[in-house]
């Protein structure tokens, strides 16, 4: 079995693969001050709950965009899983040319998503990841990562709105029935849902013109992907486990199959 860990700024998404099957997955909050022991015991509790024997884990693959947690995660893997973890980073095999001014600047999760999506669809594509930041990652039909777009994420926008205004509350993010809100909560929901959907479509339209590929595909991932994608005209599919799948692909490419 392979244990895959995607450390994001807001959540840590984890999955366990048996062969090509994702048998279980779970998410925990990202807390920079957690110790290796705290993380180890937290993960082991999930393993016990799902009935997974930790001794069946043959490898650990990690994507991490929170540098302060690198040492902690590394120590946790060695102590609680008795494994030297495989980190996504510069120098690993990806099978994908990174045509960025400085390839080292590209977040590990963005490369993982690009590799994962291209292996599945084998065509020019854009991955829109609705995470702490909303990112657009562009891959050519030849499988080249050519760059993308980064904008503040939906949750960041909601938090900023609540913190910087005296009367606007934090809200549950659901799609309102109408664009014109009849109360403050539905007005905010409308602004966030339809506003982000419109922004996504506008950016996708410009990317499509710039990439000049008639067969380009647009796919979404991340926690809020399903909410926003329903209101867009460009997003044609949601891939909730794209990063976990990419971690498995890159692990096998570099370390061999489990």
Per-residue pLDDT band at 256 (split at 50, 70, 90):
confident
Q: Are residues 33 and 123 in the same domain?
A: no
Q: Residues 109, 129, 137, 201: which is the catalytic one?
A: 109
109 a catalytic residue: yes
Closest CA to 213 of 142, 113, 148, 112: 142
The reply to whether 75 and 131 lie within a common domain is: no
Whether 250 is in a domain gets the answer no
Same domain, 13 and 139: no
Q: Domain check: are 72 and 108 in the same one? A: no
**148 with 232, same domain?**
yes
**Segment 169-213, tens digit of pLDDT:** 777 788 888 999 999 889 989 999 999 999 999 999 999 999 999
**Residues in contact with 231: Cβ distance below 8 Å, sequence separation at least 6, in sequence order:** 175, 193, 194, 197
Spatial strand order in the sheet of 11-18: 21-29, 11-18, 2-7, 59-64, 86-87
The pLDDT tens digits for 216-237 are 999 999 988 999 999 999 999 9
Q: Give this prediction's pTM.
A: 0.92
79: domain CATH number is 3.30.420.40
Residue 9 within a domain: yes
pLDDT at res. 160:
85
Q: Would you tell me the crossing angle of helices 70-80 and 36-50 to the nearest 10 degrees?
A: 50
The reply to whether 73 and 163 lie within a common domain is no
Domain of 22, in residue numbers = 2-87
Residues 75 and 44 in one domain: yes
Give residues with Cβ within 8 angstroms of 213, minimum separation 6: 124, 140, 141
Q: Looking at 61, 87, 113, which one is the last position of a domain? A: 87
Clarify whether residues 220 and 146 are in a common domain: yes
Owner of token pair 């709105």: 161
What is residue 195's three-state secondary structure?
helix
Residue where the block lists tokens 């692990």: 251
């Amino acid at each position: 079995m392979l244990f895959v860990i995607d450390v994001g700024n807001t959540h840590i998404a984890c999955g366990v693969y048996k062969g090509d099957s994702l048998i279980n997955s779970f998410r925990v909050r990202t807390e920079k001050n957690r110790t290796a022991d705290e993380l180890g015991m937290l993960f082991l509790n999930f393993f016990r709950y799902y009935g997974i024997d930790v001794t069946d884990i043959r490898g650990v693959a990690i994507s991490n965009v929170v540098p302060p947690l690198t040492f902690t995660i590394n120590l946790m893997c060695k102590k609680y899983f008795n494994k030297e973890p495989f980190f996504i980073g510069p120098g690993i095999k990806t099978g994908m040319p990174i045509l960025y001014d400085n390839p080292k600047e590209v977040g590990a999760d963005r490369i993982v998503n690009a590799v994962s999506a291209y292996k599945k669809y084998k065509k020019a594509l854009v991955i829109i990841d609705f995470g702490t930041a909303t990112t657009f990652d562009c891959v050519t039909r030849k499988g080249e990562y050519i760059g993308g777009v980064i904008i503040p994420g939906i949750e960041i926008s909601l938090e900023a709105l609540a913190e910087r205004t005296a009367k606007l509350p934090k809200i549950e993010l659901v799609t309102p029935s109408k664009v014109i809100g009849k109360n403050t909560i539905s007005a905010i929901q409308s602004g966030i849902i339809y506003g982000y959907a419109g922004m996504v479509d506008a950016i996708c339209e410009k990317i499509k013109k710039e990439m000049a590929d008639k067969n380009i595909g647009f796919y979404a991932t991340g926690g809020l992907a399903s909410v926003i994608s329903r209101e867009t005209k460009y997003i044609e599919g949601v891939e909730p486990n794209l990063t976990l799948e990419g971690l498995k692909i890159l692990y096998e490419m570099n370390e061999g199959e489990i």
